[in-house]
Amino acid sequence: MAMSDKIEEKLYQNRYRVDEGCPHVRIDASKVPSEQLKAMVDICPAGCYVEGENGKVEVVPDGCMECGTCRIVCQETGELEWAYPRGGYGILFKFG
């Protein structure tokens, strides 16, 4: 099988076990989105963040790679609750 350089194709190799109703990344919707949070729409490598029509930023962490980028970028804004998924859930990396 030929190696591909496209990130979308590499991400497709990953598998996820979604913890329904228990997202491991949450946004405090009571706050006005900071520039850091808005930047996550472009920065998140898995495309988990979207900006809605109302200007609010939403996160759907089902395809999260647990890289921690959003946790670090938004560390000082206090808008994110971030934790690793419960055992047995989250990303399943395929090696080899």
Give the interface with ligand SF4 as residue ranges (CB under 6 A). 25, 44-46, 48, 61, 64-70
* C-alpha to C-alpha distance for 1 and 47, rounded to whole angstroms: 27
> Toward ligand SF4, which CB reaches closer, 33 or 61?
61
Smallest gap from residue 54 Cβ to ligand SF4 (A): 21
Question: What single DSSP character describes residue 84?
Answer: P
Smallest gap from residue 63 Cβ to ligand SF4 (A): 7
* C-alpha to C-alpha distance for 50 and 57, rounded to whole angstroms: 6
Contact 64, 24 (CB under 8 A): yes
Smallest gap from residue 2 Cβ to ligand SF4 (A): 26
